[in-house]
Amino acid sequence: MAKQIREPGTYLYPLPVVLISCGVGDQANIVTLSWVGTLCSTPPMIGIGVRPSRYSHYLIQAAGEFVVNLPTAEQAHAADTCGRVSGKDVDKWAACGFTRAPGVQVQVPLIAECPVNIECRLRHTVPLGSHDLFIGEVVAVHVDEAVLDEEGRVDFARLAPFLYTGRDYRRLGERLAPVGFSVK
């Protein structure tokens, strides 16, 4: 197999598309991110990469909390909008038809229309270069019953998340096998 050597870059794709709600009161905003991930299980921690020049960066630092909202593939247009316009200029809540819902542990509003909302308290900020890594401790999770299977777990076919590939958005693909299948 012939391979090309490339300059260092961000080649880790696909990535989940999430909507981060941040800020409180009239300043509440939404930003679309894909540079996100689970960092720790005990306590549960999520990391998000945000450019310091972004309005949402300021709001996350000021409030010390944020919410990771998981949109469905049907919400791709709204997610793209939230990633392309600034909350300084546009009320993204109104532009996308999103409803602010109260959290139980944070003051930042949840996006009611997203089936999963993960409330986070900011624990660490790590400057990395073009982005700062915000590490949030998960303090509450809201899951719409409509996306749960019979055992109470998230059914990803019902959730219908979508992915970012660096050039476009893609639906989550087919199930290959259950975890642990290689040793059964």
| 1, part of any domain | no
The DSSP secondary structure of the chain, one letter per residue, reads -------S------EE-EEEEE--GGG-EEEEE--EEEEEETTEEEEEEE-TTSHHHHHHHHHTEEEEEE--GGGHHHHHHHHHS-TTT--HHHHHT--EE--SS-SSPEETTSSEEEEEEEEEEEE-SSSEEEEEEEEEEEE-GGGB-TTSSB-HHHH--EEE-SS-EEE-------TTGGG-
| 119, part of any domain | yes
Our measurement of the distance from residue 168's CA atom to the centroid of its chain's CA atoms, rounded to an integer in Å, reads 17
Domain residues for 161?
17-171
The DSSP secondary structure of 58-70, one letter per residue, reads HHHHHHTEEEEEE
| 11, part of any domain | no
| 9, part of any domain | no
Work out how many domains the chain is built from and give that number.
1
| 35, part of any domain | yes
| 142, part of any domain | yes
| 71, part of any domain | yes
Both tokens of 166, joined, read: 């660096």
Q: Give the span between the Cα atoms of 23 and 56, in whole angstroms.
A: 8
Residues 6+ apart with CB under 8 A from 25: none
Read off the pLDDT of residues 57-107 as tens digits, 9 standing for 90 and up.
999 999 999 999 999 999 999 999 999 999 999 999 999 999 999 999 999
- Residue 184 pLDDT > 90, yes or no? no
| 64, part of any domain | yes
CATH code assigned at 88? 2.30.110.10
Mean pLDDT for the chain overall:
96
Q: What does pTM read for this prediction? A: 0.96
Read off the pLDDT of residues 146-177 as tens digits, 9 standing for 90 and up.
999 999 999 999 999 999 999 999 998 888 89
Q: What are phi and psi of 163, to 5 degrees?
A: -125, 155
